[in-house]
Amino acid sequence: MRIGIMGAMAEEVSQLRPHLSEVTTEIRGMREYVSGQLLGKSVTLVFSRWGKVAASSTATTLVERYGVDCLVFTGVAGALDPSLNIGDIVVASRLVQHDMDASALPGIEKYEIPLLGVSRFNVDEPYVSSARRAAEAYLSEDLSRDISDEALKEFHISEPQVTSGMIASGDQFIADTAVAQALCRQLPGLKCVEMEGAAVAQVAYEHNIPCIVLRTISDKADHSAVVDFPKFVSNIACHFTCGSVLRLLALMDD
C-alpha cells in the first residue's frame, strides 16, 4: 500500500517530513511531493493548499502520478456541534460539499454531485475506527510530552476529545453565526466545517480507494474564531496532525 498524506497547512506537512527516510522530491503543479518510507509504509506527502479545487487537484496527482491507494487528509476545522471544543479531533465518517447545489435541475437534490448521484461520501468503518484509535492514542499517551501545558492553556485546551461524524466542505471560511446555524439546520448531525475534505473524498470515491479525514478544531465557526490562527496551527494543530498520523500509520496494514 502506498499512502498519500495531504496537509491543508504547510506547517503540518513540515512537521511530518523529518520522519521520512529514503526521501525523493518532485515539483508538480506548483506543489512539492515528498516520497519516502514512514514507519515501514510507502508514502507521498504534500501540502495541498486551501480550497476544494486545490485539494482535488492534489489528490488526483497523488493517485495518477504516485499510485497511492489510500488518501489521508489532515487540517483544522470550525466546530458546528456545540459539544466540540478547541483542540478536539474529528474523524470523518461522512463528508458533504455544503456549497454544491444543482437542485434547480430536474431530479438532482441539494448537495448531490451531478452525474455521481452521491451527496454524502461515506468512510468505511474500519478506517474511521483506526483513525479514532490513533488520535485517542496520541492525546492520551503523547500529548503531554509533545506540547507544553502553557501552550495548551493559551488556547484553553485541557482535555481534548476525539469524535467522529459528518464533516462539511466548501470554499468559504465560515465565521458567521447565522451561516453556521443554517448549515446545522440543513445538515443534521454535522460536526464541523472546513474547505477540502469532501473534495478529496470525491476523488477517492471516483478512483475506488479509501479516504481518511482528520480535523483538529481551531474555532467555533463564528465570531469567536481563534484570533491568532497562525499561532494555533504552528503551536498546536501541526503537533496534533503529526502525532495522530504517525499513530494511524502504525495501525495500518501494508
Catalytic sites, residue numbers: 12, 219
CB-CB neighbours of 192 under 10 Å: 28
Rounded distance, CA 252 to CA 72, Å?
Answer: 12
DSSP label of 253: -
DSSP E strands, 67-141:
70-79, 89-97, 121-122
Residue 11 C-alpha from the chain's centroid: 14
Strand pairing category for 2-7 and 70-79: parallel
Phi, psi of 17, rounded to the nearest 5 degrees = -55, -40
Rounded distance, CA 124 to CA 94, Å?
Answer: 9
DSSP label of 17: G
Cell, residue 103: 437542485
DSSP label of 235: I
Residue 248 C-alpha from the chain's centroid: 13
